[in-house]
Amino acid sequence: MEKKYKIKEIYYTLQGEGHHSGRPAVFCRFAGCNLWNGLEADRHKAICQFCDTDFWGTDGENGGKYTAQELTDKLDSLWPELGLMNKFVVFTGGEPLLQLDEALTEVVHKSDFEIAIETNGTIALPKGVDWVCVSPKANSKVILTSGDELKLVYPQDNIDPKDVVGWDFKYRYLQPMDNPYIEQNTNACIEYCKSNPVWNLSIQTHKLLNIP
């Protein structure tokens, strides 16, 4: 039987953070993560207790179970008719690499999408990903120590930018942890970037501007 991918939600928006901030993109959120099961009752067991994403189940906008072709057709249907150039999909999660494989990247590429992923970096990468953004989490074993964009949520206990700054990425971003201390966290990121200019600030503009 053909593989079906479990998808929490799919929607067309602007990428809100990191290097491609402001770029139109279809966001495709895979269900499930290997660092937390997504249930509030089990948050105390999560590796990243600050997780702000609902990735549990397949009940979001356009969520469901899709074959590679069905998923690609859905991505296509969400891309604006007049804007066929610069097609861009961001596979996120949860942890997209629990499910994303070469069979899917091949079909999506046939539809002329550039493929980006946002991953915690703990699972091997299939062929066919055009932009790799790794967001390392403390107390996890990251194996993807090279890629395009390193995006560290800051500050995190038990992970210091110095621990990862030597990894092989084109761009390095510090992103303030979104919690009740967001203002202090943002100031800490600003100060850190100013003192350590290999790091740039990444702001979650979609939250600031309420970009749907």
Active-site annotation, residues: 27, 33, 48, 51-53, 118, 206
Q: How far is the CB of 153 from ligand SF4 (least distance, A)?
A: 8
The side-by-side arrangement of strands in the sheet containing 5-14 is: 64-66, 5-14, 24-30, 88-92, 114-119, 131-134, 146-154, 168-176, 200-201
Q: Does 55 bind ligand SF4 (CB under 6 A)?
A: yes
**List 7, 25, 33, 144, residue binding ligand SF4 (CB under 6 A):** 33
**List 27, 36, 113, 154, residue binding ligand SF4 (CB under 6 A):** 36
Q: How far is the CB of 165 from ligand SF4 (least distance, A)?
A: 20
CA-CA distances (angstroms) from residue 42 to 46, 84, 104, 138?
7, 42, 31, 18
Residue 107 or 149: the one with the smaller Cβ distance to ligand SF4 is 149
Question: In angstroms, rounded to a whole number, what is the distance separating the alpha carbons of residues 133 and 150?
Answer: 6
Q: How many other C-beta atoms are found inside a 10 Å radius of the C-beta of residue 6?
A: 17
Decide if 26 contacts 91 (C-beta within 8 A). no
Decide if 117 contacts 90 (C-beta within 8 A). yes
**List 13, 21, 53, 69, residue binding ligand SF4 (CB under 6 A):** 53
Residue 51 or 108: the one with the smaller Cβ distance to ligand SF4 is 51
Q: Does 132 bind ligand SF4 (CB under 6 A)?
A: no
State the residues that interact with ligand SF4 by CB under 6 A.
Answer: 33, 35-36, 46, 48, 51, 53, 55, 93-95, 120, 137
